[in-house]
Amino acid sequence: MKAIEKSLKLDNVCYDIRGPVLREAKRLEEEGHRILKLNTGNPAAFDLEAPEEIVQDMILNLPNAQGYSDSRGLFSARKAIMQYCQQKNFPQVELDDIIIGNGVSELVVMAMQALLNNGDEMLVPAPDYPLWTAAVNLSGGRAVHYLCDEQSDWYPDIEDIRSKITSKTRGIVVINPNNPTGAVYPEELLEQIVQLAREHDLIIYADEIYDKILYDGTEHTAMASIADDVLCISFNGLSKSYRAAGFRAGWLIASGPKHLAQDYLEGLEMLASMRLCSNVPAQYAIQTSLGGYQSINDLLLPGGRLLDQRNTIYSLLDQIPGVSCVKPKGALYVFPKLDPKVYPIHDDEKLVLDLLLQEKILLVQGTAFNWPNPDHLRIITLPRVEDLESVATKLERFLSRYKQ
């Protein structure tokens, strides 16, 4: 038989968070090494477990969850999402404006597949959560990266966005709170993005999966709430705030002038029908998650685990010579910079591979997030303080002797 090659569609598709360095980490584990894996934002893997009532609710409903559901999702779950929209001031959301998916990931791919023709452009942040770039490219589109500026708390550079809009631009992706930078954008900045979308007929894709993970009293404005005359597709789910990433439950919400987007929304619905429905047991957990006590808040208050961990890793990184870091205001990551004058790194994937081999720590290199220069790393803030202290010590030791 001839060698079997992957499709050309995958030529520009890249998702390095689970790339070659992770394969090497698995090999080391098989050899018996303990690897501290700080590469994915998976709360349950760090004893940050889903609220008990969500798990119980899913178990209780398992007998009812044997059949397919409506392709858009269960009525009760979408009702609960509608209530969430009301709390966040989304403009007029109806039940059928919501589609539930197997995590946000599936819906992002569907949203891009339904929209993009070959050569269409999508504005995506740099750095980004790389699923977005991959989904655009998989769909035949071209991800055009706009700069988020480290000097300005990692906020999107509005002039850079403006300069990259062409006649082929179909939309703009905004990840807020941001992975990997931890930035949370002020309302005035979001308004400037909405204004650009308004002027150039762009759809806004608002990935707000971290909207409840906020530090230091930071507030989050839902993009949809200030964009009632612009088509906005907002994304959220159970993976982060509810620590249930393995359940695979996420949703998208269409808001704004939906009557102008009927054809696109029908396309999305068709893709939702083609996969019949998203996993039903997890859909049963959505209503319970969104209602009642939001235990995520306890982890973010003074003395809460997520806040302590964010503080620890941020201050320890800041003490390492040649390392600087913008303090994250939300999400589960820090994205430190390695000063190129102190650490002249040419290949940051090799850097994380060497770090893995020498110190048995797994991080992700900045270029995996479509950051153009090999001078950043992403570290998750989920491990316990003791583990983060050990990471900082080992990283400092490694960097002090690292030459490329």
Please report whether residue 245 would count as binding ligand PLP according to CB under 6 A: yes
* Residue 172 beta carbon to ligand PLP: minimum distance, rounded to whole angstroms: 15
* Residue 207 beta carbon to ligand PLP: minimum distance, rounded to whole angstroms: 5
In whole angstroms, give the CA distance from residue 399 to residue 380.
19
Among the residue ranges 89-97, 102-110, 224-232, 371-379, the one whose residues contact ligand PLP (CB under 6 A) = 102-110
CA atoms within 13 A on the CB side of 81: 32
Please report whether residue 207 would count as binding ligand PLP according to CB under 6 A: yes
Position among 61, 69, 105, 133 found at the interface with ligand PLP (CB under 6 A): 105
Residue 159 tokens, joined: 């002039």
- Contact between 358 and 388 under an 8 Å Cβ cutoff? The reply is no
Please report whether residue 50 would count as binding ligand PLP according to CB under 6 A: no
* Residue 93 beta carbon to ligand PLP: minimum distance, rounded to whole angstroms: 19
Please report whether residue 43 would count as binding ligand PLP according to CB under 6 A: no
CB atoms within 10 A of CB 288: 21
Please report whether residue 175 would count as binding ligand PLP according to CB under 6 A: yes
The Cα diameter of the chain in Å comes to 62
Position among 77, 85, 100, 104 found at the interface with ligand PLP (CB under 6 A): 104
Position among 115, 122, 174, 209 found at the interface with ligand PLP (CB under 6 A): 209
Please report whether residue 289 would count as binding ligand PLP according to CB under 6 A: no
Instruction: Please report, as residue ranges, which positions from 124 to 163 form the binding site for ligand PLP (by CB under 6 A).
Output: 129
- Contact between 98 and 81 under an 8 Å Cβ cutoff? The reply is yes
**Which DSSP helix (H) or strand (E) runs through 121?**
strand 121-126
- Contact between 237 and 209 under an 8 Å Cβ cutoff? The reply is yes
**Which DSSP helix (H) or strand (E) runs through 171?**
strand 169-175
Helix (H, G, I), strand (E, B) or coil at 380: strand
Please report whether residue 103 would count as binding ligand PLP according to CB under 6 A: yes
Q: Which residues bind ligand PLP (CB under 6 A)?
A: 41, 103-105, 129, 175, 179, 207, 209, 237, 239, 245, 250
